[in-house]
Chains A and B, each alone.
Chain A
Amino acid sequence: MALLQIAEPGMSTAPHQHRLAVGIDLGTTNSLVASVRNAVAVVLNDARGHGLLPSVVRYHEDGSTSVGQAAQARAADDPRNTILSVKRFMGRGIKDIPDATTLPYQFVDAPGMVQIKTVAGVKSPVEVSAEILKATRARAEAALGGELVGAVITVPAYFDDAQRQATKDAAKLAGLNVLRLLNEPTAAAIAYGLDNAAEGIYAVYDLGGGTFDISILKLSKGVFEVLATNGDSALGGDDFDRRIYCWVLDQAKIHTLADRDKALLLSHARAAKENLTDHDETVITVVLSTGEVINLRLSEAEFNAMTASLVNKTLTTTRKALRDAGLRPEEVKGVVMVGGATRMPRIQAAVGEFFGQAPLTNLDPDKVVVLGAAMQANVLAGNKSGGDWLLLDVVPLSLGLETMGGLTEKIIPRNATIPTARAQEFTTFKDGQTAMSIHVVQGERDLVVDCRSLARFELRGIPPMVAGAARIRVTFQVDADGLLSVTARETGTGIEAHIAVKPSYGLTDDEVASMLQDSYVHAQDDMVARNLAEARVDGQRLLEATQAALAENGQALLNSTELAQIETLMANLRMALRGTESTAVKQASEALNQGTTEFAARRMDLSVRKALTGHRLDELEI
Chain B
Amino acid sequence: MPLDFNQNHFQLFGLPVRFVLDAGQLDEAYRGLQAKIHPDRFAHAGEAEKRLSMQWATRANEAYETLRSPFERARYLLWLQGVDAMDPKNTAMPADFIMQQMAWREALADTNRNRDAPALDRLEQELRGQSKAYQADLARLIDDARDYPRAAETLRKLRFMDKLLEEVDSAYAALD
Cβ contact within 8 Å between A419 and B47: no
Chain B residues in 8 Å Cβ range of A418: 61
How far is B168's CA from A323's CA once the two chains are assembled, in angstroms? 11
Cβ contact within 8 Å between A605 and B2: yes
Cβ contact within 8 Å between A180 and B43: yes
Cβ contact within 8 Å between B37 and A546: no
Of A155-163, A356-364, A608-616, the segment with at least 4 beta carbons within 8 Å of chain B is A608-616
In chain A between 388 and 434, which residues have their CB closer than 8 angstroms to a CB of chain B? 388, 390-392, 416-421
Cβ contact within 8 Å between A419 and B46: no
B33 at the interface (CB under 8 A from A): yes
Chain B residues in 8 Å Cβ range of A316: 176
A597-608: CB near B (< 8 Å → 1, else 0) gives: 100111111011
How far is B13's CA from A599's CA once the two chains are assembled, in angstroms? 24
Known A419-B58, A607-B37, A611-B33; contact A600-B52, beta-carbon cutoff 8 A: yes
Known A479-B39, A603-B49, A608-B37; contact A420-B29, beta-carbon cutoff 8 A: no
Q: How far is the CB of B13 from chain A (nearest CB, A)?
A: 8
How far is B49's CA from A612's CA once the two chains are assembled, in angstroms? 19
B9 at the interface (CB under 8 A from A): no
Cβ contact within 8 Å between B43 and A380: yes
Known A417-B65, A596-B48, A604-B2; contact A611-B43, beta-carbon cutoff 8 A: no
B99-110: CB near A (< 8 Å → 1, else 0) gives: 000000000000
Cβ contact within 8 Å between A480 and B49: no
Chain B residues in 8 Å Cβ range of A529: none
Cβ contact within 8 Å between B57 and A604: no
A545 at the interface (CB under 8 A from B): yes
Most buried by A among B49, B53, B62, B176: B49
Cβ contact within 8 Å between A480 and B176: no
Cβ contact within 8 Å between A604 and B172: no
Chain B residues in 8 Å Cβ range of A149: 44
Q: How far is the CB of B167 from chain A (nearest CB, A)?
A: 14
Nearest residue, chain B, Cβ from A590: B47
B169 at the interface (CB under 8 A from A): yes
Q: How far is the CB of A20 from chain B (nearest CB, A)?
A: 12
Known A316-B176, A320-B173, A416-B65; contact A604-B56, beta-carbon cutoff 8 A: yes
Cβ contact within 8 Å between A601 and B52: yes
Cβ contact within 8 Å between B35 and A380: no
How far is B49's CA from A593's CA once the two chains are assembled, in angstroms? 9
A352 at the interface (CB under 8 A from B): no
Cβ contact within 8 Å between A600 and B46: yes
Cβ contact within 8 Å between A421 and B45: no
Most buried by A among B37, B43, B47, B62: B43
Cβ contact within 8 Å between A480 and B40: yes
Size category of the binding interface on chain B: 35 or more
Interface size on A, residues (CB 8 A): 50
A381 at the interface (CB under 8 A from B): yes
Cβ contact within 8 Å between B52 and A180: no
Chain B residues in 8 Å Cβ range of A546: 46
B18 at the interface (CB under 8 A from A): no
Chain A residues in 8 Å Cβ range of B41: 388
Cβ 8 A contact of B172, one of A323, A380, A597, A612: A323
Chain B residues in 8 Å Cβ range of A319: 176
Cβ contact within 8 Å between A477 and B48: no
Cβ contact within 8 Å between B40 and A604: no
How far is B173's CA from A323's CA once the two chains are assembled, in angstroms? 9
A4-43: CB near B (< 8 Å → 1, else 0) gives: 0000000000000001000000000000000000000000
Which 9 pairs show the lowest CB-CB distances between chains A and B?
A380-B43, A601-B2, A600-B48, A480-B39, A382-B44, A611-B36, A597-B48, A600-B49, A607-B36
Could you pull out 29 A-B pairs where Cβ atoms are within 8 angstroms?
A150-B43, A223-B31, A323-B169, A323-B173, A380-B40, A381-B43, A381-B44, A388-B41, A390-B31, A390-B40, A392-B34, A416-B65, A417-B64, A420-B61, A480-B38, A541-B44, A545-B45, A596-B48, A600-B52, A602-B2, A603-B49, A604-B2, A604-B52, A611-B33, A611-B35, A611-B37, A612-B32, A612-B33, A613-B14
Which residues in A have some Cβ–Cβ distance to B below 8 Å? 19, 149-150, 179-180, 223, 316, 319-320, 323, 376, 379-382, 388, 390-392, 416-421, 477, 479-480, 541-542, 545-546, 549, 592-593, 596-597, 600-605, 607-608, 610-614
